[in-house]
Structure 1
C-alpha cells in the first residue's frame, strides 16, 4: 500500500454517513450507464469495487445479477449492506482482492480509480479477477473539472488557501491524464481489449448547505483541506463559497451544478 493509499484510508475513516448525506447522490448519476457498459444483467456475477453506500450494488441486484461488493471503509460496508440486501458485501480493497482468478463476469467501480495510489496495479488486479471475455467498467472525474466541481476550489483560492503539504498526490509514474484518451489508454495498457471511454455530463441539483456539508465534514480530499484550517479560515472559505455558489442557484434557490465524468470500459 502506498502513502497515497494510506492517506485515502484515513480520509474516509468514519465518514460514511457524511458522504451519504452529501456526495453520494452526486455519484449515483452514472450508475445505470456503468452497469450497461459492463453488460450486467440477470445472472451476471458482478463485483462492485469501492461500493460506498451501495448504490451500484443495489441497482445491480435489481437487475438480477449475483453481486459481490467491497469497500475499504467498514462504515461504508455497513451502509451498503443495508442498501443492497441480497448482495455479498464485505471489507476489502485494491490492490489485493480476496477473490480467485476469473471469478467474475463483470467488474465495476464507480469513482474508485481516483482513490488508489497505483491505478495501473489496481487495473491489473481487476483484470485478474475478471473471467476471460468478461467486462470491466469504471468511472472517474474528468480534468479539468466542470464548473460545479470547481466551486470548492474557487472558494479555497478566494480565501487564499492552498492544498496542505501533508496530503499526498500520485507519483508522476502512477498518474495519468483524466481525459477520455487517458483513461482508455490506461485500460489498454492494463491488457483490456477494445478499451474505450466516453464523457458523461449532467447537472447535479443540491441546496447550498447540502453541497457544503460534505467538505465541512472532511469528506474527500477537498474536505481534508477544509477541516485542516483554523475556524477563522473555514469561515472565510464558507463566506466565499456562499457568494460563488449563488451563481448556480435557480429560482427555487437550489443549485444546478455542472458535472463531468469519464466512463471507461473494456474486455478482459
Structure 2
C-alpha cells in the first residue's frame, strides 16, 4: 500500500510542528479522547494501539486505565513529544497508516483520534487498523465533519473578511478514495472495511481556549488556515489579526477565553 500525494503533503505540513500543535489545537483534539476509548472498550489489561498519537493525549488516558499501550505517529517531532510524556507506554514509535509494523491480530483494540482526516486512502487505513486487532476486538476513530463546525468555520470568515483567497492547487484525497465527512459516510468506510457492529455518533461541545492559543496554531503553520497564513506578507498578517480580534470578540467569555462551538464524528466497530 503506497502512500499518496496527499499523504506526502500532509507529512510535509506537520514536519517539526509538534510544539506548535501542542500549544494550539491539541486541547481541541483532546476533548473526545475518553469517549473514543469508551467506544473501543479500552480497559485494564488490554493491549491497545493508538495510531497517530500526536502529543500522546489518548495514549496517556489509555495508560491511566491500565491498558498496555503502543503509540505510533508519522511525524518524528510528535513521537519525541509523546515518548517523553508516556513513560508507562509499552512502546512509542514512528509508523504511519496504512502500513503498520505489527502482526495480524496483535491488539485488543485500536484507536485513531482525528487521523483519518490526514490519510490519502481512508479505507486502507481503516482496514489496516482491523488487520492488527484480534477478532471481536474493537476499533474507534474520530474525524472532523464537513461542513465544518462553527469553531473551524470561523477561520474561513476571518480570511474572507480580509479578502484572502484559498490556494487553488492543494493535494486532496483522490475522489475515488474519498467519502462524505458525515456519520453515514464514515460508518460506510468502516462497513466497507469488513467491520461489524458499526456505530457513529456526532459529539458536540464548546471548546474554551485562550485567544492567543487559538491564533497561534495557524500563525505557526498548523492546518489549512496555517497554509494560508504562511503565504501572506506581513501587512496582510496584520489585517488578518485585526479581523480575527473583531470576529472572535463575540465568543469571548467574561474571563477573556473564547467559547467556540464545535463537533466531531466518532465511529466504532468490531473486528469479525
Query: Per the shorter chain, which TM-score range?
Result: over 0.9
Distance 2:164 2:188 in 1: 34
Find the counterpart in structure 2 of residue 222 from structure 1.
225
Distance 1:170 1:231 in 2: 31
Find the counterpart in structure 1 of residue 149 from structure 2.
146
Distance 1:140 1:214 in 2: 18
TM-score, scaled to structure 1: 0.97
Find the counterpart in structure 2 of residue 173 from structure 1.
176
Deviating more after overlay: 145-154 vs 31-40: 145-154
The alpha carbon displacement at 1:185 in A equals: 1.1
Name the SS for the 1:177 alignment partner: coil
Find the counterpart in structure 2 of residue 248 from structure 1.
251
Out of 203, 211, 226, which is 1:208 matched to?
211
Find the counterpart in structure 1 of residue 238 from structure 2.
235
Distance 2:110 2:57 in 1: 15
Find the counterpart in structure 2 of residue 77 from structure 1.
79
Out of 27, 30, 54, which is 2:29 matched to?
27
Distance 1:166 1:79 in 2: 32
Find the counterpart in structure 2 of residue 49 from structure 1.
51
The alpha carbon displacement at 1:221 in A equals: 2.3
Name the SS for the 2:66 alignment partner: coil
RMSD, aligned α-carbons: 1.0
Find the counterpart in structure 1 of residue 13 from structure 2.
11
Find the counterpart in structure 2 of residue 106 from structure 1.
109
For structure 2, the residue ranges without an aligned partner over 5 or more in a row are none
Name the SS for the 1:164 alignment partner: coil
For structure 1, the residue ranges without an aligned partner over 5 or more in a row are none
